[in-house]
Amino acid sequence: MSLKQYIEQTILPQYDAFDGGHKRDHAQMVIDESRKLAREHGADEQMAYVIAAYHDLGLRFDRETHHLHSGEILMADQTLRQWFTEEQLQVMREAVEDHRASSKRPPRSLYGAIVAEADRQINPTLVIHRTMAYSQKLFPDGDFETLYARSKEHLLEKYAEGGYMRLWLNSERNVRSLEELRAIIRDEDRLRTLCQEWYNAHDSGMGYTEEQIRDIVAAQRKFFRTGETLPVQWRIKQLKRLKEAVIAHQQEFMDALAADLGRSELEAYLCDVGPIIVEINEMLSGLRRWARPERHWSGLMCFPSLITKVYKMPYGVSLVISPFNFPILLTIGVVAAAMCGGNTVVIKSSSKSAACTAVLKKFFAEVFPPEYITLIDGGHDVADMCLAQRFDKIFYTGSPAVGKHVLAEAAKHLTPVALELGGETGNWCVVRKDADLKDAARKIAFFKLTNAGQICININQIAVAEEVADAFIAELKAAFVAQIGEHAEHNPEYPKLITDAAYDKCAKQADAYRERIVFGGTGDRETRRYAPTLIYPVDINEPIVQHELFCPLLPIVPFKDAEADALMDIIAEREHPLAMYLFTSNIRWANRVMQTQQFGGGCINEVCIHMMVKGVPFNGTGHSGMGAYHGEWGFREFTHPQTVLRGHTLFNLPLREHPYSGEAGRQKMKLLKLFER
């Protein structure tokens, strides 16, 4: 059978079978378009039929869900190779790719989508995402669990050992991809996470329009204007409800943290759940005192007014954009501060921590009405739709790059913003030669293992006195082994990186310094666990110590202990970090450094626990952020002072009134200077 016969005898009759044959006209149009496209790229008539053959897949392409079976693409590839060489097929692909690149949406005849799929062939993540899309088409009203169960069943039927899709997976590349796909299907946590990623982006996120988000904000503004959030007793009642709900849902939170980040229950409670309860308790005990209006003596200059009050007023409708690394703590903790201040809250949670986002969305929907607290999920497009609205306060936690974008969007409405950022050039830890090396190593190892280094205040790089560098590195290796074992990537207690892309980025950076890795440097991509990795020696001007790593890599920079002040000068010239850690027995030197460097917060001979102290702020400065929260500082962040002077109708002095000249003016000047004393 010739290709032309294949088109005429196979493709066109299939179109006839649909909708009374009217699609045959569409098929002819597809062929005509294909001929035109072929001519534009110098291809012959024969190549037009190649393009048309690919268009045949449009019959099985669902335009609403963009679902296309990868196996059908592979079948088409195999079919076309009966008549054409790979070089000829490549001509067609390039023509189609050019067409795709010039179009923001899939063209009517689906050139770009089909060819991109054919080139990728079996992509495990893509297969899973498209299976979820297909499931949603079958069950348009289905919740995540329904779609997940159906997708898992479908994936097992198609791709498990003996599944019928194996028939078209002939190339070595596809066999490897199939093995990876099967490994994901067997891993319940990983499969659920990938399905949840798609669900967040396509079910909820894609469902939001700018108009819907505008309506959400308008509903919250209407509720805020009723004044219901203003009474302190009402806020306390809501905070108590929040605390009770957190305790009731703590197991769901810990399960979600395990799914997204591989956290053990203890680490999940220590780092996410427990601190929320502590934070809310502090608010409950202090809110009445914090919210009490300040009373000031108005002064003689304002006589006959005697009292001026400063009220702590909520901003109104706030937007909280939370990150993936501590998705429970850095969502609920910030929301609690906003509630404490008397605000309503729209939450945009991270699409990367899919399981946590799903749990949080359900959590807030159960505990509070949407006109008070509501969570919006989805990707960056949804975040931008939120930022396009006029909020009264925005609180963002994340990277400096996105922080700049948030600030720029907020400036359009002159909306006040709090930014909690990681710091452009990372957080330094300095180990002097007089430090207790064993103690320093133990604490640093614990901190770097926590959340696999995905912490905004974590140590990005260590500067160690070269006189003790070898001894310190030996202690640090021993501390890692003692706490997590020789191969952290195989320890189920060790957290994982948030996405495959994060793992690949970490591994790529490690490979660039492979010859200087003195510990670690290994990982398991299937579980996304990458071992804590020491890189030594690293020059202070190398790229790896001039940007935030946010992973288990730990570069070590040697310096002469006598030149410690020069080292601190170099650090001071870079962007302000979120945290600073010093290990030394010279407390006088350490105190001087801590009082002269610019950073958010830090420790001397300790790591990270400064943020657990009650009554102190957590904040950055410059590229590590602006604003502060925790306890009373969070209350202050979500309120603004409003000064109100109470005047009187009697005994008003004419000091401020004309005339300002002559004898009256001279007498007024004397009184003004007297009152200034």
Q: What are the catalytic residues?
A: 420, 456
* SS3 annotation, 649-665: CCCCCHHHCCCCCHHHH
Q: Are strands 523-524 and 529-530 parallel, antiparallel or unpaired?
A: antiparallel
Q: What is the CA angle 246-250-254, rounded to 5?
A: 135
Among candidates 399, 244, 257, which has minimal Cα distance to 327?
Answer: 257
Whether residue 456 contacts residue 577, with contact meaning beta carbons closer than 8 Å, is answered with no
- Cβ count near 571 (within 10 Å): 20
Angle of CA points 499, 162, 10, to nearest 5°: 95
Nearest 5 degrees, angle CA 144-CA 145-CA 149?
115
CB 579 within 8 A of CB 623: no
Complete edge-to-edge strand list for the sheet that includes strand 417-421: 373-376, 344-348, 317-321, 393-398, 417-421, 625-626
**Strand (E) or helix (H) holding 417:** strand 417-421
CA nearest to 357, candidates 389, 396, 323, 388: 323
Q: Look up residue 309 and give its DSSP letter.
A: E
395 three-state secondary structure: strand
**Beta-sheet pairing, 639-645 with 307-314:** antiparallel
Strands 294-297 and 307-314: antiparallel
Q: Which amino acid is at 265?
A: E
HEC per residue, 124-167: HHHHHHHHHHHHHHHCCCCCHHHHHHHHHHHHHHHHCCCCHHHH
Question: To which H or E segment does residue 673 belong?
Answer: helix 662-675
H-helix or E-strand spanning residue 465: strand 461-465
Tokens of 486: 């020789």
- Helices within 17-170 (DSSP H only): 23-40, 45-55, 70-80, 86-101, 111-120, 124-138, 144-159
Which tokens belong to 372?
């008070």
Contact indicator for 327, 356 with CB cutoff of 8 Å: yes
Place of tokens 């320093």: 440
Distance between CA atoms of 462 and 534, rounded to whole angstroms?
10
